[in-house]
A and B are shown apart, each in its own frame.
Chain A
Amino acid sequence: MEHHDVVIVGAGPAGVAAARTLRDAGIDRVVVLEREAEAGGVPRHCGHPSFGWSEFHRLLRGPAYAARLRQLVRDVEVRTDTTVTALHPDGRLSIRDPSGSASLQAGRVLLALGARETPRSARLVSGTRPSGAYTTGQLQQLVELDGLRPMRRAVVVGSEIVSLSAVMTLRQAGIEVAALVDEHPRPATWRSTAAYPWLLRIPTLFAVTDLAIEGGERVAAVTLRHRGLPRRIACDGVVFTGRFVPESAIVRSSHLEVAAGLHAPLVDAGFRASDPTFRVAGNALGRAETAGWAFREGAAAARAIAEELLAGRDPGPPPRGRVSWNGEIRLVVPQLLRDDEPTDAAPAAYVRRPVAGRLRVLADGEPLHERWVRAIPGRRIALPRSVLAPREVGDVRVELLPDPSPDRAHRPALS
């Protein structure tokens, strides 16, 4: 069986950054496994120039950025068309490639699996199921990789950052954007970027309910309710944007623990999973950040691995405690607390919907931190670093208690 110091699963921004960092740190036997035919990840098909500023000091279109990523690791073994089919304890991996299946043994594994958008079916959208309903990822592949024009007039669903990316892709492809609609009452992303569709005079409808698709073979319209009134928007395509979920199926079926519902792998502040031989970085952690963020995170996780390997340290002790959260919170990172973890990491919480209210952090039931927050799904809510400090305390709980009235005055933090 092949032995490697580090096996990286996924050659998107996080995986590539990790590979480069490990090699530069002197870790030689590094291999990156990528299941697609080409490395680069989601940026491969994202056509607008919003990539590469922090990594390469250029503003690049996605495909060019992906090419730079490949170039960055040209001296590293990157195996494409290679699928990891199972993860086993102590760093063993089952893989499959075009020639057959095999096993690899790794000293450490970094899972840089990425995330995907929630498609129409999992959203339980009513209506017929004609062709023409796509996620942003599909739309961008068809436009960017295949040079196709999958629709003439689109309705975009969602108001995350990726939703604006979808609008840009549509406009670039000469596709009219009939409307941008969202179930949330307010934009899920920063107000400044949310102004983009408004600037383009694209009608935006918030607090939309009962979205349904009409059409026989192709989409013919979207119907919905807005402010209690039924609306019908003629279109021949619908783009369902965002609601990213981690691409974590192989983690879920392994011995590694995942969060209920979201199925994001549980990690500590050093990116270590419940089995500390494995680390997770990038969007596989359960929140969709930019390529640049994933790149930096991959590098940070790799530095942690390199330091551990060069110092000859064991992967780490079992977790001393866990972080839990209430229903308003979608995810907290990290979720595992270990005594030997770094304390310079930045714990954060993420909400499901735009909400304002009191954020409370409890350590073993005792109040640790409290402040009023106005949160949107696209924004990290910083948590106090004291949450991570090695201590006797076992478990942490994060709760967000929504305000009953949306326009509550700001209250000072209690801590």
Chain B
Amino acid sequence: MGAEARSDRVDPRDPYDAIVIGAGVVGCAVARRFTLEGASVCLVERAPDLLCSSASKGNSAILHTGFDAPEGSLELACVRDGYREYLDVGDKLNLPVLETGAVVVAWRDEDLERLPAIVQRARANGIDDVRSLDPNELAEREPHLASGALGALLVPGEHVIDPWSAPYAYLLQAVSTGADVRFGETVVAASASEDGWCLTTTRGSIEGRVVLNCAGLFGDRVDRLAEIDTFEIRPRKGQFVVLDKSAAPLLRTIVLPVPTERTKGALLAPTVFGNLLVGPTAEDVDEREAPTVDERALRDLLAQARARLPALADHDVTAVFAGLRPATDQRDYRIDVHADRRWITVGGIRSTGLTGSLGIAAYVWRRFTDELAPAFDHPFTAVPNPPWPAVANLAEYRERDHQQPGSGPIVCHCEFVTRREIEAALTGPLPVRSLEALRRRTRAMLGRCQGFYCTGAVAAIAGDRILPVFDVGRERPA
């Protein structure tokens, strides 16, 4: 069933001020911003839960400074605003920040030659603390890095965050402040109504005055429901390898290659969960969901990682995954306000969406107030004293539930997830509705054994919503 939280609309039959399509990190941030500013919001998502399908579930989890964003771009503005707002609200929502910094390492002469331009761009973008490191300084900072680096840049402000807690926290605050959310509902048609829009979904219909299309990988198709046809999504797949926690002592800084036009390149970074991550690849694909991993590409990523960090050769792979980026034919974000249609498209948020999301949300709100709000019959006033629900900590560098005395038995032994953490994820205003979501909300089954030890226990706790994934139906005879 789609979840419906309480709403502050005077009459539940009134149209929403805004319908947000897509509960990726951008949709969640937009829903949050509009709700906090006093709008009534309904967020509709085709997948059964958060983080089931979207770029938001599989990315490198970096909080970007924007040092290498194109000058004067919308992306740069949103990333910088998003970065600041994340650090500000993240504290109140209990979102983690692992302050790793990043080094851009030149391994070849042509990379070394590009470094000064990167510094220049960083300064132009307002990132003033980028500085050069010579090979000795680099080695001192990261003693396990392979020798042979010709030079590097240090970007102290690049950090690592939790990519899954952020959208959840944004949505939780939105829902706690009165937003409605509907999961497992796909928008299939859009027709103009007296007050704005009537969206037909696979479960019914939703009426709203403005539509905010944050549908990511399906953004172009959703636009076409409104007969808007300005861009095409060309999914770009990125595969990743997650290395065992035993490898964590080998690296504490994000290691970036010198970027090219197409992609930021495969990086090596710590994760908030205490692992090391290598990736992404960058491959143009047709599929918009269920991206594939490819053994050859994964082995190649591992080889790249081991070339940079030779000691990695003795550490095991814990997990592999692929994310799909909603790339368009242009690099910059595509945020189009169709004021006359009461439709805002937030598209092509390609690879910095996690950082940019709060900035995108603020930008969309500003454009909305400038260009669409005047047509509304009521002014918007920000909600005074909204709730700030703190989300559970999944980050390894801070205290976790199992470290609290009296936290009860552990169910997932690889990731030290307590029974009560799993139970908490199954309850509350936004309970998990799928096994995938349960894993990402708690870290259960994401460790080196991938559920070898705890699947039975998780299935026993998981309850009716999640159990079907483990049981095709017919009980076997006793």
Chain A residues packing against B (C-beta within 8 Å): 35-37, 45, 81, 83, 96, 98-101, 116-117, 119-122, 124-131, 134-135, 137-138, 141-152, 172-174, 210, 212, 215-216, 236, 245, 247, 249, 252-253, 260-261, 263
Contacts and interface: CB of A to CB of B under 8 A. Distances in A.
Given A128-B291, A147-B475, A45 B456 contact: yes
Contacts of A99: 405-406
Interface stretch (B68-76, B84-92, B139-147, B446-454): B446-454
Contacts of A83: 410, 413, 416
A174 to B, nearest CB: 5
Given A122-B318, A149-B473, A236-B472, A129 B293 contact: yes
Nearest to A152: B472
B206 interface: no
B290 A128 contact: yes
Contacts of A36: 453
Contacts of A35: 410, 413
Given A35-B413, A120-B450, A96 B460 contact: no
Given A128-B292, A252-B246, 13 more contacts: A99-B405, A101-B405, A116-B452, A119-B451, A120-B450, A122-B317, A138-B451, A143-B476, A144-B456, A150-B471, A249-B246, A249-B414, A260-B314
Contacts of B200: none
B390 to A, nearest CB: 23
B231 interface: no
Contacts of A130: 290
Q: Which 10 A-B pairs have the closest CB atoms?
A: A141-B456, A100-B405, A119-B450, A148-B471, A145-B456, A138-B455, A81-B409, A116-B452, A137-B452, A126-B295
Interface string B308-331: 000000101111111000000000
B317 A121 contact: yes
6 contacts: A35-B413, A98-B406, A98-B407, A121-B319, A121-B320, A130-B290
A236 B409 CA distance: 33
A125 B406 contact: no
Contact of A126 (B293, B314, B456): B293
Contacts of B371: none
B401 to A, nearest CB: 12
Contacts of B406: 98-100
Contact of A148 (B292, B317, B413, B467): B467
Interface of B: 245-246, 289-295, 298-299, 314, 316-322, 402-403, 405-410, 413-414, 416, 435, 448-453, 455-457, 459-460, 467, 469-477
A150 B413 CA distance: 23
B318 A148 contact: no
A114 to B, nearest CB: 9
A37 B317 contact: no
Given A96-B402, A146-B460, A216 B299 contact: no
A153 B35 CA distance: 47
Contacts of B414: 249
Contacts of B294: 126
Contacts of A173: 476
Q: Which of A120, A124, A130 has the most CB of B within 10 A?
A: A124
A189 B381 CA distance: 72
Nearest to B411: A37
B295 A142 contact: no
A393 B23 CA distance: 67
A148 B293 contact: no
Contacts of B403: 101
Given A122-B318, A129-B321, A135-B452, A149 B293 contact: no
A124 B291 contact: no
